[in-house]
Structure 1
Amino acid sequence: MIIVLQIITGMLLLQLLFALWNAAQLPKLGAGADQSVPEALPVKAAPEGRRLSVLIPARNEAHNIANCLSSVLACSKGGIGPEIIVLDDSSSDGTGAVAAAAGGVRVQVLQGQELPEGWLGKSHACAQLAKAAEGEWLLFLDADVRLQPPALQAALSTAYAQGGGMVTGFPRQDTGTWLERLVVPLMVFTVICHLPVPLVRGSRDPRFVAAHGGFILIHRDCYARCGGHEAIRSELVDDMALARAVKRAGEPVCLADITDYVRVRMYRSAGEVWNGYRKNIYAGTGRSPLLLLAVLIMYFLFYLLPPAAVLYYCLTGQPGAALLPAAAVLTGIAIKRISDAAGRQPVWFCFLLPAGIFCLSLIAAASWRGSGSRRGYEWKGRRYS
């Protein structure tokens, strides 16, 4: 056991160094895709046509859509004046009426068409929005996203500096319930720990991508070349699938730090966290049980075995033997703090790492089981397999 713990501690120290380096590689939104632009570039409002279309697919988002639109409209004070379109995707809670009242003449509200065979709901909604949009750049936002006033200026600055392709990033996550705090920040944790950020922009390999569907800015020509949402119409994890399609089309993808400008609360209960992650985790591994198992084993060895060993040695009266696994626990906490700092999360969240990994593992196992069952997954009144 001692040798195993020594190896784990050594690997965690290497992981810590990688996380420190990797977090520093995230370009700030508004500074250009390669951080070569020190300040946000001025963006002039186009006298003819649209520079930017803000596209919001919304299904049963009556509780979110007004605040989302208010934050988008507040960004227009700088003269960008984007086209704003909301698609009411067969909502049963009056989302379309709330959007129309909140947006007034500045916002176009579309009624979504019936879902065709072979399509998943969000991809179909986004495809309809893209077809209706007139902008040179298309910004897909989720209804639970809230923008700070300089957000559109910063996004277009990075987009024009890159010259095309896609710009995306992970918003600052607001959390309230216990499972949100345990699990939701682990999205950034997995990126900081495992994905070399420079390869997202610098490599053409579609395996090196990360994207958040709540904030995806893509050039219209790039969208057409990669096939848009039609090319990924049956993909459950649509944001990652679209990013891979962009890379396969030879276009650049920028994963930026957008936490200064974009916030989101994706889930509002433990049940929503469970069902949302359960729907996506297994699909996110390419539906590979071996890959999922390998990840779970690694997470168990790195983040669950050391605290269990500390507890065991303390309970059996061997406090000296607990020092090595305690060092591993502290290193894991330090890694989590680096990722939490990148995601602008509270300092104390890093101490939740073992509990968060345990809960994530349970959801991952349920995600794998759901893929093999007839019931599949349910989200916002639709069933997925």
Structure 2
Amino acid sequence: MAILLAVVSGLLVLQLGFVLWNRRYYFPLGDVSDRESIGMEPTSTLSMRTRYISSNQSITGSITKNNTKNYKVSPNNISVLIPARNEERNIGNCLKSLLALPEPPLEILVLDDHSEDRTAAITQELAARSDSRIRLLKGRKLPEEWMGKSHACVQLAEAAKGSWLLFLDADVRLEPEALRAAARAAQAQGRGLISGFPRQETETWMEKLVVSMMMFTILCHLPLKLVSGSRDPRFAAANGAFILIHSDSYLGIGGHTAVRSSLLDDMELIRLAKRSGEPVRLAKIDGISSMRMYRNAAEVWAGYRKNLFPGMGRSLPLLIFVFSVYTALYLLPTAALIGGLAAAVLTGSVMPVVWLGWAAMAWALGALIKLTVDRSSGLPAWYSLLLPASIVLTVLIGLDSARQHYRKKGYEWKGRRYA
């Protein structure tokens, strides 16, 4: 056991080193001073790309081509697009944060996707006070083989006038500097796609334990330098809650029509962008945006259940491998430490000091890795002490996600069931 725990400790040291290296490439949105170091192309190359668009890839024909070569991007070039279904508890705060921006966007479009609550009414009330900046659109009937959110986003893109499209979830709130930072990032990048993860606001224990694992998996396993610096679509991550994309790039990759049947539309969009040679970036946006995705344990479970197994390509061998590695790295040391201490208390026997020492070191390294990620994401330090509980819940949700797939029950979300 001591040898096994020593090996685990060695692997965790390597993991910690990777996280420390990786977070160097997690730049705040709008910080363009290190653009070369994250693999972005020179401005001249980006400007040349503005001449690229394939007319036969247009999904609607209603978004006009915009040349990025000779104009300065400002918030007034950005259309904010919000798909909303049953969002009465979120849409008001989201829109109020947008209306409070010192430099407003070109327009704020909200698509009511057949909501069964007061989403549309709240939007209309705020639109009446917004000098026509807010427009409410009524969603069309959902076609077969389409995901609801992708269908809503396509309709929003059809109606948008901006040269840059900011797809925003209804539970996101922007800080005053957010749109200016987005404009600076758009100006520096020229075209393509930029995404990020807002600061996660959590209240229930399930939220604190599970939601914090999103950035943990990304910073632990995805080389962020290669998100921007490589065309390989395997090195990609995006968050549908905040996607900023140039309208030409959106048309060029086929928009949400190209990912209409995917539960992971955000991931598929950035992969399409990379395959098409568009510049992409995963930016740090937790300082300029926040969100609360879920409100209780049932919502957390349902939300992650619909994403975890599909996020692994619905591959059972991959799921088993990943969860086995997580169990060995983060649960085994905890179990060994607790078991050794319990044995000493209950039986009076003393476990070998080396054995307990390696267990304690491995546990501490796991907590330090989580602490490093959480501090990079603006989360409280004490979350790191509960990493084993977070791992257990993530594993259980992942197994349930696979079970739903193999039972052919599909995944339910906001009153709709998807395969």
Give the TM-score normalised by structure 1.
Answer: 0.95
The 3-state SS of whatever aligns with 2:163 is strand
1:141–1:216 CA contact under 8 A, matched in 2: yes
1:33–1:159 CA contact under 8 A, matched in 2: no
Query: Residues 134-149 of structure 1: matches in 2 within 5 Å?
Result: 134-149=161-176
Residue by residue, what CA displacement relative to the aligned partner does 1:271-319 show, whole Å, maximum 9, x if unpaired? 0000000000001011111111111001000000100011111122316
- Structure 2: which amino acid aligns with 1:384? Y
Match of 1:17 in 2: 17
Match of 1:226 in 2: 253
Residue by residue, what CA displacement relative to the aligned partner does 1:322-351 show, whole Å, maximum 9, x if unpaired? 111110000000000111011100111111
Unaligned runs of 5+ in 2: 38-70, 345-350
Match of 1:6 in 2: 6
Divergent runs of 4+, >6 A? none
Query: Is structure 2 residue 130 aligned with structure 1 residue 106?
Result: no
Query: Is structure 2 residue 126 aligned with structure 1 residue 63?
Result: no
Match of 2:50 in 1: none
Query: Residues 61-100 of structure 1: matches in 2 within 5 Å?
Result: 61-75=87-101, 77-78=102-103, 80-100=104-124
Question: Shift in Å at residue 253 of structure 1?
Answer: 1.0
Match of 2:235 in 1: 208
Query: Residues 296-315 of structure 1: matches in 2 within 5 Å?
Result: 296-315=323-342
Match of 2:285 in 1: 258
- Structure 2: which amino acid aligns with 1:339? V
Question: Shift in Å at residue 374 of structure 1?
Answer: 3.2
Residues in 2 aligned to 1:103 and 1:264: alpha-carbon distance in whole angstroms: 22
Question: Shift in Å at residue 43 of structure 1?
Answer: 5.8
Residues in 2 aligned to 1:328 and 1:56: alpha-carbon distance in whole angstroms: 44
Match of 2:26 in 1: 26
Query: Residues 187-202 of structure 1: matches in 2 within 5 Å?
Result: 187-202=214-229
Match of 2:272 in 1: 245
1:43–1:153 CA contact under 8 A, matched in 2: no
Question: Shift in Å at residue 159 of structure 1?
Answer: 1.3
Query: Once superposed, what is the RMSD of the aligned Cα atoms?
Result: 1.6
Distance 1:172 1:45, change over 3 A: closer
1:173–1:185 CA contact under 8 A, matched in 2: yes
Match of 2:414 in 1: 380
- Structure 2: which amino acid aligns with 1:72? L
Residues in 1 aligned to 2:361 and 2:371: alpha-carbon distance in whole angstroms: 15
Residues in 1 aligned to 2:74 and 2:198: alpha-carbon distance in whole angstroms: 26
Question: Shift in Å at residue 237 of structure 1?
Answer: 1.0
Match of 2:41 in 1: none
Distance 1:181 1:319, change over 3 A: farther
Match of 2:58 in 1: none
- Structure 1: which amino acid aligns with 2:22? N
1:295 to 300, 304, 322: 322
2:371 to 334, 337, 352: 337
1:236–1:280 CA contact under 8 A, matched in 2: yes
Residue by residue, what CA displacement relative to the aligned partner does 1:196-216 show, whole Å, maximum 9, x if unpaired? 010000000001011111100
State the identity as a percent.
Answer: 52
Residues in 2 aligned to 1:153 and 1:382: alpha-carbon distance in whole angstroms: 36
2:259–2:265 CA contact under 8 A, matched in 1: yes
1:33–1:254 CA contact under 8 A, matched in 2: no
Distance 1:45 1:302, change over 3 A: closer
Question: Shift in Å at residue 82 of structure 1?
Answer: 2.2
Give the length in aligned residue pairs.
Answer: 376
Residue by residue, what CA displacement relative to the aligned partner does 1:198-244 show, whole Å, maximum 9, x if unpaired? 00000000010111111000000110111100000000011111111
Question: Shift in Å at residue 94 of structure 1?
Answer: 2.1
The 3-state SS of whatever aligns with 1:375 is coil
Residues in 1 aligned to 2:399 and 2:167: alpha-carbon distance in whole angstroms: 31
Match of 1:371 in 2: 405
* Rg comparison, structure with higher value: 2
Give the TM-score normalised by structure 2.
Answer: 0.87
Residues in 2 aligned to 1:82 and 1:305: alpha-carbon distance in whole angstroms: 53
